[in-house]
Amino acid sequence: MIKEDINFKEAGRFEETRFEKIHNVIFDSSKEASLLVAQEIANLIQRKEELNEPCVLGLATGSSPIKVYEELVRMHKEEGLSFKNVVTFNLDEYYPMDKDNIQSYFYFMHEHLFNHVDIKAENINIPDGKVSAEELRQYCIDYDMKINSYGGLDFQLLGIGRTGHIGFNEPGSHVNSATRSITLDHITRVDAAPSFLGVDNVPRKAITMGIGTVKNAKRIVLLAWGISKADIVKETIEGEISSQVPATYLQEHSNTTFVLDTEASSELTRVKTPWLVKSCIWTDELKLKAVVWLSGLTNKPILKLTDKDYNDNGMSGLLAEEGTAYHLNIKMFNTLQHTITGWPGGKPNADDTYRPERSTPAKKRVIIFSPHPDDDVISMGGTFDRLVEQGHEVHIAYQTSGNIAVSNDEALKFAEVSTVLNSASTESDSIIDFLKNKSENDIDSVAVRKLKGLIRRSESLGATRYMGVPDENVHFLDLPFYETGTVKKGNLTDADIAIMCNLIEEVKPHQIYAAGDLADPHGTHKVCLDSLFEALKRLKSKSFMDDCWVWLYRGAWHEWETYEIEMAVPMSPDQVLKKRYAIFYHQSQKDGVMFQGDDSREFWVRAEDRNRATAKKYNDLGLAEYAAIEAFKRYHF
Ligand code: F6R
């Protein structure tokens, strides 16, 4: 039997606790983890080649395995890894689906792996999304028989859906299920909606390898990245086996490893509340995390927690270090209290010993980086307002054009107005013609993309003018990595980093704000953040950088955990309203947007709910009651 040969345990963070029913290893980044998984696959391919046997791989699509495939392609090109003895069986395909549709898994696999390695075409097996309804049943039986004819899968690579699906085995799937057609869960279709430009375009059915087929693999590695997988990863690893979470069937497989990044592991008991499973090294951050958790658990403000509360909840070790609950409570309360400031740019002429920001210079130069043209006001509209009001020189830098998120109808509206105003415009006429005849598989023409980008520019300028920023301080960076015209973006290149560096050098900021989606594996936010980190690395030796502090707001969907917050900027009810009006300027993103996700709230509602929730958390911990709070974490580079 093929056993895990790469030492994942040593490379990542591994611990066996009584809660965990599946072997799992945690890595700081999905990249680092993906390289190891690719190495295990490469070792297997080579071992099988030496034995002169085919290497039978079960493969997955989706965002999770992309870096594994990238690394395998690199190994093929640079290290001569050959796929001549490899036979692959993909987990699934949408149904019905044409092979040449860019949404097909057939297209995905060729684009990410098969077109770049020396695998034989006849060794590639991907369920056929075009098989007729009458033939489908027999087709699925044959697919399993073909796998069995090779002696089963040597290795199965998996991702996990938020429903707990593996392959497309949605909740309800039987442990012994075979390859078959299946109706997709609504959540799965919502998750696929961005690539299909709307949930209505996502097929309702798919062909999937069964749980029984997957479980017969000799070795299984499941990849999960990002915060959106954290809940299902916990349920799968710690919960009971249930058809409602099909991935839990893997608890019965004796050679499975879950490879996780920090965010995907964040709900595991050993990560979230380590004091419940082991004795801890009590860093300041862990102390605050534990106290905030205890306050939530007991429903008591921090200053009312007792020795008994600590002792009853696995924290007697902490108490022994700190003396009494009384002392620990005060210390933690003060730590949180000191994060609150109405002066995000620092309070001039004030003692700043216990303030999140420096008091000098009193007037700071600030750059707010916004991945899309609206994240600035959605994520930090209140803080933005204070920075301007308090006289700082505020620059806004929109990193991408955001053109992909403007609907065709919206663009058509502007193009039609433009032809009326400008009767001789052939450009508008060609745009109108393109949009009226556009089919599902078409990528927007350059002219259409330009128009969509311009729509977002003018909305952004409306908002920044409303917030009191002069136009010359608003920068549209249009980073090239974004300009593919599709949901899938290019890689960061020097051209992107140079644009970032130029702006930072020009402004020489004392403060930078940026969207801190640290582990959003497929998102534009993560790429934008990487571009900033790389720029900071390149500029680090410049003297002005010594005075530059970086504050991260969390992206549009999540907020920092309370214990992570280092600057909390409260908002009055009037400021909440002002922020709302600023968000309203982004009209193409209102009243039902293209990339809605499974949260049907408008962006301004989400922003207000989130800021109100942060304020409530502070208040529940015993701190002052505010209408809303925006939260930031400092990034040390
Ligand atoms: C893909 C597949 C699915 C995905 C899962 C996670 O072939 O079978 O089970 O692995 O939906 O998708 P991502 O990786 O996009 O989060």
286: Cβ–Cβ under 8 A, 6 or more apart, which residues? 274, 280
Are β-strands 256-261 and 365-370 bridged in parallel, bridged antiparallel, or unpaired?
unpaired
CB atoms within 10 A of CB 176: 11
168 Cβ inside 6 Å of ligand 1 = yes
Whether the bond between 96 and the residue before it is cis, its omega within 30 degrees of 0, is yes
Q: What is the pLDDT of residue 395?
A: 98
Q: What is the mean pLDDT of the chain?
A: 93
Q: What is the pLDDT of residue 556?
A: 67
Q: What is the pLDDT of residue 522?
A: 59
Q: Extract the tokens encoding 103.
A: 């949404």
Separation between Cα atoms, residue 334 and residue 332, nearest integer Å: 5
Q: Is the dihedral of CA 61, 66, 70, 76 positive or negative?
A: negative
Of 353-357, 398-402, 497-501, 520-524, the range with the lowest mean pLDDT is 520-524
Q: How many A from CA of 87 to the centre of ligand 1?
A: 20
C-alpha angle 94/95/98, rounded to 5°?
80
CA atoms within 13 A on the CB side of 317: 14
Separation between Cα atoms, residue 232 and residue 223, nearest integer Å: 12
Question: Residue 259: left (phi > 0), alpha (psi -120 to 50), or beta?
Answer: beta
- Mean pLDDT in residue range 21-34: 95
Residue 465: closest CA among 388, 392, 399: 388
Of 62-66, 439-443, 476-480, 601-605, the range with the lowest mean pLDDT is 439-443
Is 154 a residue whose pLDDT tops 90? yes
Is 284 a residue whose pLDDT tops 60? yes
Residue 507: closest CA among 463, 472, 482, 455: 472
In single-letter form, the type of residue at position 465 comes to R
Of 34-48, 79-93, 325-339, 551-565, the range with the lowest mean pLDDT is 551-565
Q: pLDDT band at 480, cuts 50/70/90?
A: very high
Q: How many A from CA of 191 to the centre of ligand 1?
A: 10
Nearest CA, atom 9, ligand 1: 167
Q: What is the pLDDT of residue 521?
A: 53
603: Cβ–Cβ under 8 A, 6 or more apart, which residues? 374, 378, 556, 583, 586, 589, 590, 593
Separation between Cα atoms, residue 417 and residue 177, nearest integer Å: 56
Spatial contact of 24 and 265, defined as CB atoms under 8 Å apart: yes
Nearest ligand 1 atom, CA 522: 15
- pLDDT by residue (tens digit) across 379-428? 999 999 999 999 999 999 999 999 988 888 888 988 888 887 776 677 88
Q: What is the pLDDT of residue 404?
A: 86
The percentage of the chain sitting over the pLDDT mark of 90, rounded to a whole number, equals: 80
Spatial contact of 48 and 42, defined as CB atoms under 8 Å apart: no
Separation between Cα atoms, residue 158 and residue 169, nearest integer Å: 12
Separation between Cα atoms, residue 217 and residue 154, nearest integer Å: 6
**Domains, the chain:** 20-270 (3.40.50.1360), 290-337 (no CATH), 365-403+443-635 (3.40.50.10320)
Q: E strand or H helix at 549, and its extent?
A: strand 549-553
CB atoms within 10 A of CB 360: 12
Match 């309360």 to its residue by tokens.
333
Residue 474: closest CA among 460, 488, 490: 460
- Mean pLDDT in residue range 91-99: 97
Is 476 a residue whose pLDDT tops 90? yes
Q: How many A from CA of 168 to the centre of ligand 1?
A: 8
Ligand 1 pocket: which of 61, 158, 169, 190 to mutate (most atoms within 8 A of CB): 61
Ligand 1 pocket: which of 89, 95, 160 to mutate (most atoms within 8 A of CB): 160
Nearest CA, atom 11, ligand 1: 161
Match 């002696």 to its residue by tokens.
151
Q: What is the pLDDT of residue 423?
A: 67
Nearest CA, atom 1, ligand 1: 61
Burial class (CB in 10 A: 0-12, 13-18, 19+), 233: buried
Is 489 a residue whose pLDDT tops 70? yes
314 Cβ inside 6 Å of ligand 1 = no
Q: How many A from CA of 7 to the centre of ligand 1?
A: 25
Separation between Cα atoms, residue 452 and residue 406, nearest integer Å: 6
What is this structure's pTM?
A: 0.86
Residues marked active site are found at 170
Q: What is the pLDDT of residue 2?
A: 44
Is 195 a residue whose pLDDT tops 90? no
156 Cβ inside 6 Å of ligand 1 = no
- The whole-angstrom distance between residue 281's C-alpha and the CA centroid of its chain comes to 29
Q: What is the pLDDT of residue 1?
A: 41
Specify the 3-state DSSP secondary structure of 252.
helix
Q: Extract the tokens encoding 89.
A: 């069986």
60 Cβ inside 6 Å of ligand 1 = yes
Separation between Cα atoms, residue 71 and residue 31, nearest integer Å: 10
Spatial contact of 561 and 271, defined as CB atoms under 8 Å apart: no
Give the phi and the psi of residue 569 in degrees, each rounded to 5. -105, 110
Specify the 3-state DSSP secondary structure of 94.
strand
C-alpha angle 238/240/244, rounded to 5°?
110
Q: DSSP per residue over 141-182, as a string?
A: HHHHHHHHHTTS-SEEEE---TTS-BTTB-TT--TT--SEEE
Residue 362: closest CA among 540, 504, 252, 511: 511
Nearest ligand 1 atom, CA 90: 7
Q: How many A from CA of 623 to the centre of ligand 1?
A: 42
- pLDDT by residue (tens digit) across 196-231? 878 888 999 999 999 999 999 999 999 999 888 999
184 Cβ inside 6 Å of ligand 1 = no
Match 């010993």 to its residue by tokens.
353
Q: What share of the chain is helix, strand, coil (3-state, %, to 5)?
A: 45, 15, 40
Spatial contact of 277 and 293, defined as CB atoms under 8 Å apart: no
